[in-house]
Amino acid sequence: MALPPVGEYAFAYDIGTRALEDDPPNGYGLYRSSIYLQIRRAATALGYRREQYSIWQAVKPAAVVYAEFVNLLSQVQPAGVLPACLRRAEILHIPDQVKMILNQQMRLSGIYSPWCAGPTPAALVPPGMGGPFPPVPLPGVVLPAMPNMQPIAPWPNQGRQDTLFQGMRPSQGTWNTANYRA
């Protein structure tokens, strides 16, 4: 098998924490932080940068990334712990530096999550966001009456009905944020 040339590569791993942290005979009885710390120190010393919790990335030849990754994982102490607890090990090629990191788009208030989909702790709701919107009706589907939904977080314009919701529930009156308990 011919390996791709020098480029942006990453290695990723997934360690089974139950097998690592459970007491013997079901596991090693170790703290996972000690294992992750060993991997972090070795990967940083080899010139990798951390992209996510268990994904390390560098610009190197594919064969070098492969050899360093296998060597790094085999040196984790105590000996033999990683082969027994490893769930997944991958080497990824990132062609042409094209990255699709969707953190901001996927987070609450991003373009893919513009509102709360259900009950959300008020401290996790970004400023200016309201409560969940009603489900979008599908063609030919009759939905039951909308429940009396209250905003998850207080509206920034308290004291007046938000224009976004005018006409949605005329029989229910205005959205009442005064009774909301944060």
pLDDT tens readout for residues 74-124: 888 888 888 888 888 888 888 765 566 556 666 666 666 676 666 667 777
Strand partners, 60: 7
**Same structural domain, 77 and 11:** yes
Residue 178 lies in a domain: no
* 31 and 50 housed in the same domain: yes
Same domain as 73, residue 41: yes
| Token pair recorded at residue 147 | 């429940």
If asked whether residues 72 and 124 sit together in one domain, one would say: no
Q: Does any domain span residue 142? A: no
Evaluate whether residue 168 is within a structural domain.
no
Residue 126 within a domain:
yes
Domain count within the chain: 2
Mark whether 46 and 108 lie in a shared domain: no
pLDDT at residue 29 is higher than 60:
yes
Supply the range of the domain harboring residue 36: 7-97
Residue 55 resides in a domain: yes
pLDDT band at 44 (very low <50, low <70, confident <90, very high): very high
More confident residue, 158 or 24: 24
Q: Please count the other Cβ atoms lying within 10 Å of the Cβ belonging to residue 67.
A: 12
Residue 144: its pLDDT value, please? 56
Q: Tell me how far the alpha carbon of residue 141 is from its chain's centroid.
A: 33
115 & 51 share domain: no
Do 93 and 77 fall within a single domain?
A: yes
pTM attached to this predicted model: 0.55
**How does strand 7-15 pair with strand 49-52?**
unpaired
Same structural domain, 44 and 126: no
Q: What is the CATH number of the domain that holds 31?
A: 3.30.70.240
Mean pLDDT of 52-66: 89
Residue 176 in contact with residue 151, Cβ under 8 Å? no
Q: Are residue 13 and residue 93 in the same domain, yes or no?
A: yes
Beta strands in 22-85 (DSSP E): 49-52, 55-60
What's residue 95's pLDDT? Answer: 76
pLDDT confidence of residue 133: 57
Does 62 share its domain with 90? yes
- 90 lies in the same domain as 120: no
Sheet order of strands, 49-52 included: 49-52, 55-60, 7-15, 86-94
Same domain flag for 93 and 106: no
